Amino acid sequence: MILFNDQLIRREEARVDIEDRGYQFGDGIYEVVSVYEGKIFRLEEHLQRLSYCAGEIGIELPTSLEVLITNLYKLIEVNQLVNGQIYFQVTRGYAPRNHPFPAQPKPVLTGYVTRKPRPLELMKTGVKAITLDDIRWLRCDIKSLNLLGSVLAKQKAIEQGAFEALLHRNGKVTEGSSTNLFMIKDGKIQTHPLGNLILGGITRIVILELAGQKNIPVIEEPFSLKELYAADEVFVCSTTSEVMPIITIDGNPVGNGSVGPLTRKLQELMEEMLF
Ligand code: PDD
């Protein structure tokens, strides 16, 4: 069963018009949430971000957040989801193809569950990354359905045997193609500040909270590719990747080329929050 606006229906019954603006223009927004033991992790923050993004592009959500919360939990229940994810998106809906917003938009919300296992093995061993020019638009704070820049970057990473592409604008590192990026140098954690150049990740919030609780110094300032290469530890984070250690960048080892102690510590601290 899937969520279609405020209804739970069978996937085969769902109907999206070929002129849906999400389909034609990428005119919409989305969220990915993780479900651990039947509970949605940090749902409030995800919905706050959804509301923010909807506001930024002038989409009115088809249901209230209260109704959406109820429906997301119904979706979990009817699908008997214990551990997994929910993907949901809102488009500006159907209208005859024309760039300006339709006079009376009818936004369309769709949501469904997925059951990807947590990437525990990769989290243990660490993964490879490459660096690439950040060719995305200048409103990366909006979780837009327009993901072509991210898709092309991720594809390049995969073709080179890497897990993630770490993006930079004129040598200043922003984030991963679908993750936020942290580096650690001399016991301090550094990540790009919020703003229009990165997505305000929910996992990023969690990491900053955990670092704060443990008195690990955090710097929210941009850093250069050169600094990234010289880091002691590097990790990316997201809802689906959690805390994912990066052990090589462009073929060069990060630190001594294995998962570092602070990254491991943050993984452990996050694990404690999940169950
Ligand atoms: N990606 N930065 C970008 C560009 C992202 O697409 C994501 C999430 C993040 C991390 O955000 P969060 O911690 O809220 O998941 C950062 C999702 C998971 C995706 O597109 O599948």
Q: Is the pLDDT higher at 130 or at 275? A: 130
Q: How far is CA 118 from the centre of its chain?
A: 15
Q: Is 191 in the pocket of ligand 1 (CB under 6 A)?
A: no
The domains of the chain, with CATH numbers, are 2-114 (3.30.470.10), 120-274 (3.20.10.10)
Report helix, strand or coil for 95.
coil
- CA distance linking residue 180 with residue 199, whole number of Å: 8
What's the pTM?
0.98
What's the confidence (pLDDT) of residue 117? 98
CB atoms within 10 A of CB 172: 17
23-52 residues labelled b (16+ CB within 10 A) or e (exposed): bbeebbbbbbbbbeeeebbbbebbbebbee
* Pocket flag, ligand 1, residue 1 (CB < 6 Å): no
Q: What is the mean pLDDT of residues 98-106?
A: 98
Summarize pLDDT for 119-167 with one digit per residue, the tens.
999 999 999 999 999 999 999 999 999 999 999 999 999 999 999 999 9
Residue 179 · residue 237 · CB < 8 Å:
yes
Residue from 238, 244, 274 whose mutation best tests the ligand 1 pocket (most atoms within 8 A of CB): 238
pLDDT tens figures, 2-39 = 999 999 999 999 999 999 999 999 999 999 999 999 99
ipTM: 0.98
Q: Let me know: does 243 contact 235? Beta carbons within 8 Å.
A: yes
Residue 162 confidence (pLDDT)? 99
Structural contact between residues 120 and 107, judged by C-beta atoms closer than 8 angstroms: no
Q: Is the CB of 202 under 6 A from ligand 1?
A: yes
The predicted-structure confidence for 205-254, as pLDDT tens digits, reads as follows 999 999 999 999 999 999 999 999 999 999 999 999 999 999 999 999 99
203 CB within 6 A, ligand 1: yes
Q: What is the rounded distance in angstroms from the CA atom of residue 195 to the CA atom of residue 43? A: 22
Helices 261-274 & 202-213 angle (0-180, nearest 10): 110
Is residue 200 predicted with pLDDT exceeding 90?
yes
Looking at residue 231, its pLDDT comes to 98
Rounded CA gap, 157 and 246, in Å? 13
Which residue owns the Cα nearest ligand 1 atom 9? Answer: 179
Share of the chain above pLDDT 90, in %: 100
**Has residue 78 got a pLDDT over 90?**
yes
The dihedral through the CA atoms of 269, 44, 120, 216 has a sign that is: negative
* Model confidence band, residue 275 (pLDDT cutoffs 50, 70, 90): confident
pLDDT at 101 over 90: yes
Catalytic residues: 143
- Residue 201 alpha carbon to ligand 1 centre in Å: 6
Beta pairing class for 164-169 and 7-9: unpaired
Nearest CA to ligand 1 atom 8: 178
**H or E segment at 17?**
none
Q: Where does the chain have alpha helices with state H?
A: 21-25, 43-56, 65-78, 120-125, 148-159, 202-213, 225-229, 261-274
Q: Is the CB of 208 under 6 A from ligand 1?
A: no
Minimal-distance CA residue to ligand 1 atom 3: 178
